[in-house]
Amino acid sequence: GAVVSQHPSRVICKSGTSVKIECRSLDFQATTMFWYRQFPKQSLMLMATSNEGSKATYEQGVEKDKFLINHASLTLSTLTVTSAHPEDSSFYICSARDWGTAFNEKVFFGSGTQLSVL
Amino acid sequence: SQQGEEDPQALSIQEGENATMNCSYKTSINNLQWYRQNSGRGLVHLILIRSNEREKHSGRLRVTLDTSKKSSSLLITASRAADTASYFCATDAASGTYKYIFGTGTRLKVLA
């Protein structure tokens, strides 16, 4: 089945630094990818929709300049947390739709990235 | 909030018992999916049910969908300690946005 690879799985950084998280679709082309954020014991909150070759669409309340999304190819989207602060510590997870399947309903999730900002 | 609601928020049962979780959502949907998440890990896809379906089974899982009430339920029969996890529903809105919105989740604990 289709696989979405997310890297790194865990990152610890100092406050003020930037962190880049990669999301790759390994065996299908993903024109659309999604980025979610999850706080402990809470649900996944959609942050933004990443569109290949165009600007990302951010959900209400998500800072565009804080969470930079780049989707330069059909298999790779990156999320950069700029000038990270302790309150950005969270579990980030990406997903990608496989438009090649019927009903376009197949969506696959990466394994997530645990970000800890000291 | 755009999120769906799930209840109960937490559920604790004995091994062998059945567990039922409910999900309510707000908009018309194309489909609804259920996921499991073990603590601190990624999501595991359990089952997908389309808007024109009312019930689906997969092993010990049974999912129902009532689009008139905008609700779905997940039943896990003969639960095992390994079923301990958080369970989320996610809806694919029919509005054409192509994004999945997750419910608030149910934390299930199965006691051996």
Other Cβ atoms within 10 Å of A56 Cβ, number: 21
Evaluate if residue A58 carries a pLDDT over 70: yes
Q: How many CB pairs under 8 A join A and B?
A: 55
Interface test with A, best of B27, B52, B100, B108 (most A CBs within 10 A): B100
Contact A41 B101 (CB under 8 A): no
- Could you tell me the pLDDT band of residue A92, with boundaries at 50, 70 and 90? very high
> DSSP secondary structure string, A42-71?
S-EEEEEEEETTS--EEPTT--TTTEEEEE
Could you tell me which of B72, B71, B73, B46 has the C-alpha nearest to residue B58? B46
The residue assigned the tokens 């909030």 is B1
Mutation target vs B (from A54, A99, A107; most B CBs, 10 A cutoff):
A107
Q: Which residue of B has its CA nearest to A111?
A: B42
**Whole-number pLDDT of residue B1:** 47
pLDDT above 90 (res A66): yes
Question: Mean pLDDT over all residues of chain A?
Answer: 90
Nearest-angstrom CA–CA distance, A89 and A114: 8
Say yes or no for a CB contact (<8 Å) between B42 and A41: no
Is the CB of B99 less than 8 angstroms away from the CB of A112? no
Minimal CA separation from A42 to chain B, in Å: 7
Interface list for A 11-70 with B (CB within 8 A)? 32, 34, 36, 41-46, 49, 59
**pLDDT tens digits along A24-55:** 999 888 888 999 999 888 889 999 999 888 89
The nearest alpha carbon in chain B to A43 belongs to: B104
What is residue B59's predicted lDDT score, i.e. its pLDDT? Answer: 96
3-state secondary structure chain B: CCCEEEECCEEEEECCCCEEEEEECCCCEEEEEEEEECCCCCEEEEEEEECCCCEEEECCEEEEEECCCCEEEEEECCCCHHHCEEEEEEEEECCCCCCEEEECCEEEEEEC
* Cβ-contact A94, A9 below 8 angstroms: no
Reading chain B (112 residues) residue by residue, the pLDDT tens digits are 456 788 899 999 999 999 999 999 988 888 899 999 998 788 888 999 999 999 999 999 999 999 999 999 999 999 999 999 999 999 987 666 678 889 999 999 999 9
Q: Tell me the C-alpha distance between A50 and A70, whole Å.
A: 7
Q: Rounded to 10 degrees, what is the CA torsion of B76, B79, B85, B89?
A: 0
CB atoms within 10 A of CB A37: 21
Higher pLDDT, A28 or A5: A5
In one-letter notation, the amino acid at residue A47 is M
